[in-house]
């Protein structure tokens, strides 16, 4: 598979087959991803791989905390405190498309909650990755982590595996760190669901659009 093909083919998958992913597959993906560039070769990332009972118990611990009214306490702000254009419209369109694919109406709060909790279950994927960054590092290291994450997504695509990078899994980092025995100096950036795409699931049938080249590029000669 060409790198460009993997970039265009990859999509965020939110329904997975009940088919295991081997430790060898995951290791091969991370082995490829580790070649991501980083400032002065700091390589400031850490990955926790969860599956089986560990994944289940982590998901249920987060869902239980939310049901008890514990608010999210992320290590960083992924989104702006107040939305503005053009990002506000893009966010709204994405939400409408997602819930439309799931067949969930705007007033169906129970199904909305169920769909949201599915985030913490890695959408049923057999493997979940939790990505951490040494919080003592500067903002540039977040760029490094982003390149490392993209390598993971593309390496998985090459192996015929589907992914979904998930900011929602960073909502309750203290629960995740406690569950995994990871120290406070590691900031939780996101999770990644990893498995085989369920091509029959309607939620996997929609794709979000991308802006044309002209919308974000200026040429200076």
CB atoms within 10 A of CB 210: 9
Q: What pLDDT score does 32 carry?
A: 97
pLDDT single digits (tens) 125-137: 999 999 999 999 9
Q: Is residue 141 predicted with pLDDT exceeding 90?
A: yes
pLDDT band at 69 (very low <50, low <70, confident <90, very high): very high
Q: 113 is in which domain, residue-wise?
A: 3-206
Kindly state the average pLDDT of the residues 70-88.
Answer: 94
Q: What is the CATH number of the domain that holds 186?
A: 3.40.109.10
Q: By C-alpha distance, which of 212, 148, 215, 207 is closest to 9? A: 207
Is residue 79 assigned to a domain? yes
Round the average pLDDT of the chain to a whole number and report it.
Answer: 94
Per-residue pLDDT tens over the stretch 161-174: 999 999 999 999 99
Which tens digits make up the pLDDT trace of 39-60? 999 999 999 999 999 999 999 9
CB atoms within 10 A of CB 78: 12
Domain assignment present for 127? yes
Query: Given this model, what pLDDT does residue 84 score?
Result: 96
212, part of any domain: no
219 assigned to some structural domain = no
Q: Considering the domain boundaries, does residue 55 fall inside one?
A: yes
For residue 160, tell me if it sits in a domain: yes
Q: Looking at the domain assignment, is residue 117 inside a domain?
A: yes
> How many domains are there within the chain?
1
> Quick one: what percent of the chain has pLDDT higher than 90?
82
Percent of the chain with pLDDT over 70: 100
| pTM reported for the whole predicted model | 0.93
In a domain, 217, yes or no: no
């Amino acid at each position: 598979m060409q790198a460009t093909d993997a970039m265009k083919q990859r999509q965020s998958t939110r329904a997975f087959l009940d088919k295991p992913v081997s430790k060898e597959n995951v290791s091969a993906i991370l082995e490829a991803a580790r070649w991501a560039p980083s400032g002065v070769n700091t390589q400031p990332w850490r990955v926790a791989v969860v599956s089986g009972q560990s994944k289940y118990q982590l998901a249920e611990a987060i869902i239980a905390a939310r049901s008890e009214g514990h608010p999210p306490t992320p290590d960083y702000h992924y989104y702006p405190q107040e939305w503005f254009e053009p990002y506000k419209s893009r966010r709204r369109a994405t939400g409408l498309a997602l819930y439309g694919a799931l067949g969930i109406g705007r007033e169906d709060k129970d199904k909305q909650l169920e769909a949201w909790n599915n985030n913490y279950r890695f959408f049923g994927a057999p493997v979940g990755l939790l990505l951490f960054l040494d919080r003592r590092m500067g903002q540039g290291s977040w760029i490094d982590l982003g390149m490392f994450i993209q390598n993971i997504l593309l390496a998985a695509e090459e192996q015929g595996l589907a992914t979904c990078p998930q900011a929602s899994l960073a909502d309750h980092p203290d629960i995740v760190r406690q569950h995994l025995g990871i120290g406070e100096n590691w900031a939780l950036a996101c999770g990644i669901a990893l498995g085989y795409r369920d091509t029959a699931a309607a939620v996997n049938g929609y794709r979000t659009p991308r802006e044309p080249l002209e919308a974000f590029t200026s040429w200076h000669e």
